[in-house]
Amino acid sequence: MSKGTIIYIGGFELPDKNAAAHRVLANGKILQDLGYDVIFVGVNSSRSVGMELLRHDFFGFECWNVPYPAGIVAWLKYILGLATIFKFLKKNRPAKVVGVICYNYPAVAQGRIKFLCQRMGLKMIADATEWYDASAGNLIYRVIKFLDTSLRMHIVHRLADGVITTSKYLTIFYGNRGKTTVELPTLFDADKFQPPSPREDVLRKCFIYVGSPFDAGRVNKARSNLKERLDVCIEIFYQLYTAGENFCFEVYGISEDDYLRVFPEHTAMLQEMAQRTTFKGRQPNQLVLKRIAECDFSMFFRDETRVTLAGFPSKLAESICCGTPVVSNKMVSLENHAQSEGLFLASRGEEFALVKQVMALSPTEINAIKQRAYHSRTFDYRNYTAKVSAFLAKVGV
């Protein structure tokens, strides 16, 4: 018998079009295993503005979406709260709605959902995985982003009955403010991944970067709001290239043109090592997963800012599930996983030495590391079922 229905709402695009979709699906599976019916309400970037909620079910879940907002008017309606969403939350269902989870949802809209939940006797839980930067873009965008983020993180989430966090930073932030929290990194269903196969080209080390290191149109002049330091990767590989090392480096998620808009000084470097470093742009998720599994290492580097402290790198969890070890930085969000199989972490400024270290590993050693990472199941959602159960009991869902 169902414990009731939980509606999960946010800017995720199912089934797998953004990292948010992977996170909420894994969390939904935890809730499902605990006996709840789960309904997702996300967005769809291919739909026209102004259309009603549309249903497309995925992975055994009831899934609905609204058009991804395009234009100022559509964004304002989305930020303030869509009438179609409120109507949807009020509907009667076979298994009574007992709670609503808002994933990184706009502050005003989320606040209105909280008050609606109070009137209906439901619990509202915030799923907080980002502390958004507002230092770039036009003035109107920066002001709206700053106000929305500040209101959301400092006030609206504190009105929630509980907060799901994704990092130690946010767990401490909301714990110190008396909130009931549960910390969940981005999780996956480990059963969906295949064990890695030994690579055939044992002479060349293959590295892969997957993600969006920055929005090329919104990087500030000081380049201080970069989400990830892909430029550090490029400079490291150029050093390795000039030293005659044998490697390949594939970049997924950003085009070379967009990268050079922000780092034009790297044009000559990339031209010189064009046979070793390639930009693939955005590609289907299944193709990217296949390439992650086939490579020796995935890699990314981040500076320590509030934006990076607040989040958890979903690409790290995904890579470990594929059985591909990760080269990255020591970060607060990774403290609980620093000893996990397949993680190679360096302090900022020591990245080159770490890459040289993993370059020296033999094919046999790398294959053994890949197998241990895959079989560790560190980021399988089933490992967190008990934690979520205890959290929901405290919240009263």
Sequential DSSP letters for 120-184: HT-EEEEEE------SSS-HHHHHHHHHHHHHIIIIIHHHSSEEEESSHHHHHHHHTTT--EEE-
Structure tokens at 331: 């970060």
Same fold, 5-185+381-395 and 190-376: yes
Residues in a beta bridge with 162: 125
Tell me the pLDDT band of 224, cut-offs 50, 70 and 90.
confident
Q: Find all residues with CB under 8 Å of 229, minimum gap 6, and list them.
A: 213, 300, 301, 302, 303
Q: Where are the domains of the chain?
A: 5-185+381-395, 190-376
State the fold for domain 5-185+381-395: Rossmann fold (3.40.50)
In the chain, the percentage of residues whose pLDDT exceeds 70 is 99
CB neighbour class for 108 (10 Å; exposed up to 12, middle 13-18, buried from 19): middle
Amino acid at 336: N
Task: Yes or no: say if 343 and 337 are a contact pair by the CB < 8 Å rule.
Answer: yes
Q: Find all residues with CB under 8 Å of 60, minimum gap 6, and list them.
A: none
- For position 309, what pLDDT does the model report? 87
- Average pLDDT of the residues of the chain: 93
State yes or no: pLDDT of 88 exceeds 90. Answer: yes
CB neighbour class for 92 (10 Å; exposed up to 12, middle 13-18, buried from 19): exposed
State the fold for domain 190-376: Rossmann fold (3.40.50)
pTM: 0.92
Tell me the pLDDT band of 188, cut-offs 50, 70 and 90.
very high
